[in-house]
Amino acid sequence: MAFEFLLVEDDPEIREIITDYFIAKSEGTFKIDSAKSGKEGQQKCLEKDYDLVLLDVMLPEVDGFTICRELRKRSNVPIVFITARHQEQDRLHGYNLGCDDYIVKPFSLAELYAKVTALIRRAKGTVRNEVMRAGSIGLNPYRYTVMVNDTEVALAPMEFAILKILIENPGRLVSRESLLIRIWGYDFEGNDRVVDNHVKKLRKALGDASKQIKTVIKRGYKLEG
């Protein structure tokens, strides 16, 4: 099965490098359509339903955050931001708008390819059932809602991001380092105690369901149920 992605990037060299790498690595399974401006990217999103969108933030005419916000109003397509903006508030803003992942320039092509491949697998698994479940916890990654039994729970963006990663890896250890890199990025200057603090807030919000989050001493966390 072939998958078609939209790459919205104003740098022609980056567009060419990503396109050539993905086509070669996937042996033609991944097909790349590209746009060199935000306005062109918006138009292409209206004309076609893509399997995934790779989206730069700093674009001429229309920025990537705007495209993501508008796209989320009508589509559940996985969105990955590719950007030079590495500040925490930028990443949080991207996740709050509805992106699925965030990679900062300069980046590894192999890492980007791995992220995209994982998102495609998950997307094809969640199209049939939008709500991801673990025990009494239900998380809708597209509507950004969390339910404990039949009650909706309000989570801040960071806690939602942590829970989403845990629920995507049921019963498996997710290290603090992995959470730091995926949510805060490689350039984060703090320590892994920030993860513990947000997990503490997450547990408080989940109430009795917090018992499903298990601490693996000196390593990280896993979600059971």
In this structure, the answer to whether residues 157 and 46 fall within a common structural domain is: no
In this structure, the answer to whether residues 17 and 110 fall within a common structural domain is: yes
Total domains in the chain come to 2
CA distances from 83 to 5, 13, 72, 123 (A): 17, 14, 19, 22
Q: Per the confidence metrics, is the pTM higher than 0.85?
A: no
Residue range 23-51: mean pLDDT, rounded: 91
In this structure, the answer to whether residues 12 and 41 fall within a common structural domain is: yes
In this structure, the answer to whether residues 26 and 122 fall within a common structural domain is: yes
In this structure, the answer to whether residues 61 and 105 fall within a common structural domain is: yes
pLDDT at 41 over 80: yes
Residue 147: how many other CB atoms lie within 10 Å: 16
> 34-38, 89-93, 170-174: which range is least confident on average?
89-93
Contact 107, 186 (CB under 8 A): no
In this structure, the answer to whether residues 99 and 141 fall within a common structural domain is: no
In this structure, the answer to whether residues 116 and 140 fall within a common structural domain is: no
Range of the domain at 19: 3-126
Q: For 198-208, what is each residue's pLDDT tens digit?
A: 999 999 999 99
Q: For 157-189, what is each residue's pLDDT tens digit?
A: 889 889 988 998 889 999 998 888 777 765 566
Per-residue tokens: 50: 């893509």
